[in-house]
Amino acid sequence: MNIFFKFLAAATVATMTIPAIAADDSSNDYISSNPFETMIRLGRISEKSPVYQMPAGSASGSYISSATTSGDAVIYPLGYAKPNSPSSYFAIVSKETSLLIAGETFELNATMTVDPSNYTLSTYTDWNRDGVFEKESRPAQVAASTKSFVQTIAIPENAALGKTRIRIRIESTAPSSADASISGRVYDFVVYVLEASDRTDRFISVSSNNDELGTAIIETPANDAGRYEIGTQVTVKAIINENSESAIEFKGWQEGNEIVSEESVYTFTVTKSTSLIAVFEAAIPVLATPEISTAEDPIWYQIMNAHTDANRKERYIAYDTNTGGDYSTALRVEKPANQTDKFLWRLENAGNNRVYIVNKGTNLQIPGSKVLEQAYFTASTLGSQFTIESSGHENGSYSIKYEGDNSYLLNAQDGTWGVVLYNAGIGTGSGWYFYRVPLKTPTGIENGDRSVAPKAHLYDGRLSITGLDGRNTIKAVSLSGQLLGNYLSADTVFEGELKYPERFIVLVIEPENGKTTTLKLLDSKL
């Protein structure tokens, strides 16, 4: 265990009385540039430590993959990231925390692994620190396209100072209370409340509407508290994912529901705390007639199931070896689709009017056995042969027939979301739409491509990068877009140290000549 957290655990159970944080400069005694040190100090500001009940239940459905906090209340933002499914239905997020000011409002921004609109989201808070949760009256705002939600929370002026929790429940039905049994996920985010003060700085955060399409960063360094003085100029930058083959366009910076600038590099004067979203769009896939193509001259499709049931519609064939949440098989039908390789397929000629269905990301083909309903399909180097014909249904869908057999149709299985064979339902569950995905037109200029892709490692705030070529500008940013390091390297390898340790960072590598690379890193020590 990290020595900081050993100390924090000891401090939390201490019974000695420590003076509460005052509204003047004495708060600086508790706030450090190192967030973990700050947590240690804040663990001692109150002798009262509330006890919370853990609900009974079991894990099901999706989970939160990342979460941040932003707004006027935020002194230090939450930076939570979980690339894999939690081991339990109940998670206490205390290793990453947020420092908040009483009497102000903030937003908890979370991204899930699937569309959160398919679930009931409930938020509970305990601002008087009595161990009893109260439900937030305002519902979370859900964005299905980005699999994210935003919960706006107002902290009362008389909120008790010190450590408290925010509980988020994710389940299929509305709960009777914060402590009710659950089939889903429960998250307790540990936060620290500080007394209101007459601060002259504000918190700025940025994010991307789609991490696969682009990255958002704050170019202007923050002060030691991670904030910006009122009246100062702050520059934010939107970076298109140049390594994507999709045609991507930057649409602008969104604040609330308004686009405030269409420039990728945007400079503004700080007047308030705010959260900006960099809006990227990929070229829209077009419904098309499926065609055979080759590896040298491919035509890529998203293949969507034609079923119209609310939970089954708009699911696309995907191949992803990362299982968990709603998906237990690598080959499955997911929603919503994006233009990443796992959703892209081409049809390769197999002779006799049959095709192999080939995945872009892996070059693997869909194989299966002639077993109805029970056998899940997967992907391998040699796939099964299929005949693709019009379903004859008025919806214009196509049937994908195993070895041309009318009684063995590729189907999206309800509930498990695996891919199986079925012998009925032509045009619905066994019908498929082919959406042709426009990709970038090659420029013919190849000298900008890297022969060796950069690789990076993060340990205890130390950054190591290999595979660099020429002069590179390297930026490390937190989940909220805060600049943690800005470096220049002319070597093939680089080592540097972050401003302060963060468990999860985004690394932006910008060469003088060539494509920008973005990498997501998890600190292997923290």
Residues 9-26 pLDDT 10s: 333 322 222 223 333 333
Using CA atoms, how far apart are residues 164 and 434, in angstroms rounded to an integer? 50
> Mean of the pLDDT values across residues 219-236?
90
The backbone torsions φ and ψ at residue 341, rounded to the nearest 5 degrees and listed phi first, read -60, -30
Domains, the chain, ranges and CATH? 3-49+58-194 (2.70.50.30), 201-282 (no CATH), 286-436 (2.80.10.50), 455-522 (2.60.40.3080)
Predicted confidence (pLDDT) at residue 245 exceeds the cutoff of 80: no
Please tell me the predicted confidence (pLDDT) of residue 472.
93
Please tell me the predicted confidence (pLDDT) of residue 70.
85
pLDDT digits (tens, 9 = 90+) for 67-107: 888 888 988 888 888 877 888 999 999 878 888 999 999 99
SS3 assignment, position 6: helix
The DSSP bridge pattern shows strands 148-154 and 141-143 to be: antiparallel
Residue 123 burial (C-beta neighbours within 10 Å; 0-12, 13-18, 19+)? buried
pLDDT digits (tens, 9 = 90+) for 354-368: 999 999 999 999 999
Q: Find out whether the peptide bond into 501 is cis, omega within 30 degrees of 0.
A: no
Predicted confidence (pLDDT) at residue 27 exceeds the cutoff of 50: no
> Mean of the pLDDT values across residues 230-253?
89
- Whether 416 contacts 315, CB under 8 Å: no
pLDDT digits (tens, 9 = 90+) for 455-491: 999 999 899 999 998 899 999 998 888 889 999 999 9
Predicted confidence (pLDDT) at residue 395 exceeds the cutoff of 90: no
Please tell me the predicted confidence (pLDDT) of residue 201.
87
Identify the CA nearest to 202 among candidates 102, 261, 147, 272. 272
Please tell me the predicted confidence (pLDDT) of residue 32.
54
**Percent of the chain scoring above 70 in pLDDT:** 87
Half-sphere exposure of residue 94: CA atoms within 13 angstroms, side-chain side = 16
Half-sphere exposure of residue 12: CA atoms within 13 angstroms, side-chain side = 16
Identify the CA nearest to 503 among candidates 96, 76, 144. 96
| b/e burial code for range 347-375 (CB count within 10 A of at least 16 → b) | bbebeeebbbbbbbebebbbbbeeeeeee
- Whether 399 contacts 388, CB under 8 Å: yes
The mean pLDDT of the chain is 84
The residue to which tokens 């039908």 are assigned: 333
Please tell me the predicted confidence (pLDDT) of residue 429.
67
308 vs 181 pLDDT, higher one: 181
Predicted confidence (pLDDT) at residue 3 exceeds the cutoff of 50: no
Please tell me the predicted confidence (pLDDT) of residue 227.
85
The residue to which tokens 């695996």 are assigned: 418
Identify the CA nearest to 368 among candidates 329, 419, 318. 419
Please tell me the predicted confidence (pLDDT) of residue 26.
39
pLDDT digits (tens, 9 = 90+) for 284-293: 889 999 999 9
Please tell me the predicted confidence (pLDDT) of residue 443.
46
Predicted confidence (pLDDT) at residue 440 exceeds the cutoff of 50: yes
379 vs 203 pLDDT, higher one: 379
Q: How many other CB atoms sit within 10 Å of the CB of residue 152?
A: 15
Predicted confidence (pLDDT) at residue 6 exceeds the cutoff of 90: no
> Mean of the pLDDT values across residues 499-509?
86
Please tell me the predicted confidence (pLDDT) of residue 478.
87
Predicted confidence (pLDDT) at residue 144 exceeds the cutoff of 50: yes
Q: Is the whole model's pTM more than 0.75, yes or no?
A: no
pLDDT digits (tens, 9 = 90+) for 145-169: 778 899 999 999 999 988 899 999 9
Checking phi first, is residue 274 left (phi over 0); if not, alpha (psi -120 to 50) or beta? beta
pLDDT digits (tens, 9 = 90+) for 29-56: 555 555 555 555 555 445 456 889 999 9
Identify the CA nearest to 68 among candidates 56, 57, 81. 81
